[in-house]
Every structure is written in C-alpha cells, then in structure tokens.
C-alpha cells in the first residue's frame, strides 16, 4: 500500500492552546478565592504613618483583641503558654520575627506583658502592625 500525496511529514509542534486555557481558568479561580482565604482575629488597628516591613520568611502573627484575648496566628492561647509555643514555632527557623497586632482599645499594660513574653522567647525582631493614616 502506498500513501497518496507522497512526501508528508509529521508535525512535531506542541499545541499550547489547551495549556494556556487551563492556566487562565486556574488564574481566575485563584483570583476569586484568594480574598476569601483571608481570615484572622478581628482587631481594630491604630493608624500611624510608617513604612512597610520587608521580610524574607512569613513572620508569626500574635494578635490581641479588644477583650484582651491572645491569639497565635488564629489559635487562642493563654499568656502563660505564649513563650513556650513561640519557642517551639521558631525552633527550626533562622529568622525569628514576630508581628504583633493589638486592638487600639487594649490597655498599654496588656500589650507590654505580651511583648515581654515574646522577647523572653528569644525573638530578635518584633514588629507592630498598624494601619496607614488616610
């Protein structure tokens, strides 16, 4: 049997159209779901005029809400357990960096107690999270 047309070559180009279509769909899905993934402790931050903090790794976030409840990321924690938990989290990290989010109505003394526990855990960098002044 002979092929008609004689000199046909196989096409070896990759068809990227389906790949691009899938990537665009994934991009749209992530753009829609990313804002929904933001969650945390409800805190009214004080407003200040400061610069953004540049970090290499994701810092650990400690929050204090207006009821003076302390949260390590999104987990409620007692102040007596804070130092030990922070030590365990940073046991294998090079950058020991914590961000403190405190409601603007929390008494100064409560914030200082938390800062003291964080420093006792051996944290070198402690940042205070605020909102920019409009």
Predicted pLDDT at 78: 92
Task: Establish if 39 belongs to a structural domain.
Answer: no
Residue 62 exposed, middle or buried by CB count within 10 Å (0-12, 13-18, 19+) = buried
3-state helix, strand, coil in the chain (%, to 5): 35, 20, 50
Separation CA 81–CA 122 (nearest Å) = 15
Percentage of the chain surpassing pLDDT 90? 18
Predicted pLDDT at 18: 87
Task: Tell whether the model's pLDDT for residue 88 goes beyond 60.
Answer: yes
More confident call, 1 vs 80: 80
Task: Establish if 63 belongs to a structural domain.
Answer: yes
Separation CA 76–CA 85 (nearest Å) = 12
Its domain, for residue 112, covers 47-132
Predicted pLDDT at 94: 77
46-81 confidence digits (pLDDT tens): 666 656 555 566 778 899 998 999 998 888 999 899
CB 63 within 8 A of CB 40: yes
Task: Establish if 100 belongs to a structural domain.
Answer: yes
What integer is the mean pLDDT of 81-109? Answer: 87
119-132 confidence digits (pLDDT tens): 998 887 888 887 77
Question: Which CATH number goes with the domain that contains 128?
Answer: 3.30.420.270
Average pLDDT, the chain: 80
Task: Establish if 109 belongs to a structural domain.
Answer: yes
CB 85 within 8 A of CB 118: no
Task: Establish if 106 belongs to a structural domain.
Answer: yes
DSSP 3-state assignment of 84? Answer: helix
Count of structural domains, the chain: 1
Tokens 């914590």 sit on residue: 98
Task: Establish if 41 belongs to a structural domain.
Answer: no
Task: Establish if 15 belongs to a structural domain.
Answer: no
Q: What is the pTM of this model?
A: 0.58
């Amino acid at each position: 049997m002979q092929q008609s047309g004689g000199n046909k070559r196989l096409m070896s180009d990759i068809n990227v159209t389906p790949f691009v279509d899938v990537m665009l769909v994934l991009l749209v899905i992530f753009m829609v779901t990313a804002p929904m993934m933001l969650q945390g402790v409800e805190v009214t931050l004080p407003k200040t005029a400061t610069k953004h903090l540049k970090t290499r790794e994701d810092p650990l976030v400690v929050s204090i809400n207006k009821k003076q409840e302390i949260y390590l990321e999104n987990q409620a924690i007692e102040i007596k357990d804070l130092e030990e938990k922070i030590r365990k989290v940073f046991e294998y990290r090079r950058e020991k960096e914590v961000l403190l989010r405190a409601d603007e109505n929390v008494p100064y003394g409560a914030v200082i107690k938390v800062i003291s526990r964080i420093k006792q855990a051996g944290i070198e960098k402690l940042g205070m999270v605020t909102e920019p002044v409009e």
